[in-house]
């Protein structure tokens, strides 16, 4: 618990505005540009950029654009992506 906000992997809540319109931040270069753009349009992911560091945030609120959390390792994240998004990850 963070204050009165419960954080879960499936339904995170923004720690700034308390809304639940949150997407995972996609770090790295996508292999499937069409799937990547569709996932962004559907607000399932947001673009993080191609440069990946050791302290990148994991979540972004699609309402206030606040970013927080700690990015998972690439392999772990790929396994947790919905099957429809796994093809956009560049191995």
Q: Residues of the chain with pLDDT > 90: what percent?
A: 47
Count Cα atoms within 13 angstroms, Cβ side, for 82. 10
**Alpha helices, H only, the chain:** 33-41, 74-80
Least confident interval from 22-31, 37-46, 47-56, 69-78: 69-78
Which pLDDT belongs to residue 33? 87
| Amino acid 6: pLDDT | 39
Q: CA angle at residue 31 from 80 to 86, to 5 degrees?
A: 20
Which residues is 63 bridged to in the sheet?
A: none
The set of long-range contacts for 3-11, using a CB threshold of 8 Å and a minimum separation of 24, is 9/80
- Asked whether residue 17 carries a pLDDT value surpassing 70, the answer given is yes
DSSP 8-state secondary structure symbol assigned to residue 75: H
């Amino acid at each position: 618990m963070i204050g009165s906000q419960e954080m879960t992997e499936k339904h995170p809540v923004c720690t700034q505005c308390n809304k639940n319109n949150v997407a995972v931040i996609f770090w790295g270069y996508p292999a499937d540009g069409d799937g990547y753009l569709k996932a962004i349009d559907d607000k399932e992911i947001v673009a993080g950029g191609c440069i990946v560091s050791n302290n990148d945030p994991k979540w972004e609120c699609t309402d206030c654009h606040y970013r927080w959390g700690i990015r998972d390792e690439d392999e772990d994240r790929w396994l947790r992506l919905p099957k429809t998004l796994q093809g956009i990850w560049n191995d």
